[in-house]
Amino acid sequence: MTTASNDLSATPTSPTAPVPNANALDQEAARLGPGGALAPEADGEAYRRRMQRRQEVQRQRVGERNLEKGLVLVFTGDGKGKTTAALGLVLRTLGHGEQVAVVQFIKGGWQPGEARALEMFGEALHWHALGEGFTWETQDRERDRELVQQAWQTSLTYLEDPGRKLVVLDEVNVALKLGYLAVEQVLDGLERRPPLTHVALTGRGAPPALVERADLVTEMRLVRHPFREQGVKAQAGIEF
């Protein structure tokens, strides 16, 4: 039986893929990997040395990254979880005692469970569901456009408010895709934010200009869906 070399520099392959545009520390972290069964060492002592080195590299990476700024976070893609991800940020931010605003474009035909659950935070959370439902429900393009523009004006009041740590623009990407809102409006609004205000934008089909502007972009990919494959209806606690 062959054993792995104890020399970390001799490891021919890295357990994780290199990070694009990574600096030397990022590349070293990727080469060392996260450990566990992915590490090639066969004995405990060699593994411990690898993880000690990984700890050192991580401390250096964290130490050199000390910039603080308001982030633009985009959650898009055809899979579930976009609004859920943004609302996780809402809960986290409220938990730190900060103020949050949620403006829902398109949605508005029902009160989601999250809105009721978060009522306990009172004035720390301002929630606006300003749509009237999906296009096939409203069937009035001009009315939809008018409501989206009204929602955008509401959004601007929060984007410009230094008291709001996080602003969530839920389904704004859909409003952009449908042509009810111009991407230039959104990009201009993002520039009006105070330096430390975060904004999360959700919905399918985020336009390239918004993706390019964002600090973080996560694309949810649909693999399976109970509605499509099994005929399961939207259920409380899962979809709303």
- The model's confidence at residue 21, banded by pLDDT at 50, 70 and 90, is low
Given the DSSP bridges, would you call strands 72-77 and 125-129 parallel, antiparallel or unpaired?
unpaired
Mean pLDDT on 18-30: 75
Residue 13 pLDDT greater than 60, yes or no = no
φ, ψ (nearest 5 deg) of residue 58: -65, -40
**Residues 170-213: tens digit of each pLDDT:** 999 999 999 999 999 999 999 999 999 999 999 999 999 999 99
Query: From CA 71, how far away is CA 89, in angstroms rounded?
Result: 12
| Residue (of 208, 170, 202) closest to 79 by Cα position | 202
Among 18-22, 54-58, 208-212, the minimum mean pLDDT is found in 18-22
- Give every CB contact of residue 95 below 8 A, 6+ residues apart in sequence: none
Query: From CA 170, how far away is CA 173, in angstroms rounded?
Result: 8
- The model's confidence at residue 1, banded by pLDDT at 50, 70 and 90, is very low
Mean pLDDT on 47-57: 95
- The model's confidence at residue 9, banded by pLDDT at 50, 70 and 90, is very low
- Percent of the chain residues past pLDDT 70, beyond the cut: 85
State the greatest distance between any 2 C-alpha atoms of the chain, in Å, as a whole number: 73
Among 13-27, 57-71, 146-160, 224-238, the minimum mean pLDDT is found in 13-27
- The model's confidence at residue 19, banded by pLDDT at 50, 70 and 90, is very low
- The model's confidence at residue 137, banded by pLDDT at 50, 70 and 90, is low
At 64, which amino acid appears? Answer: E
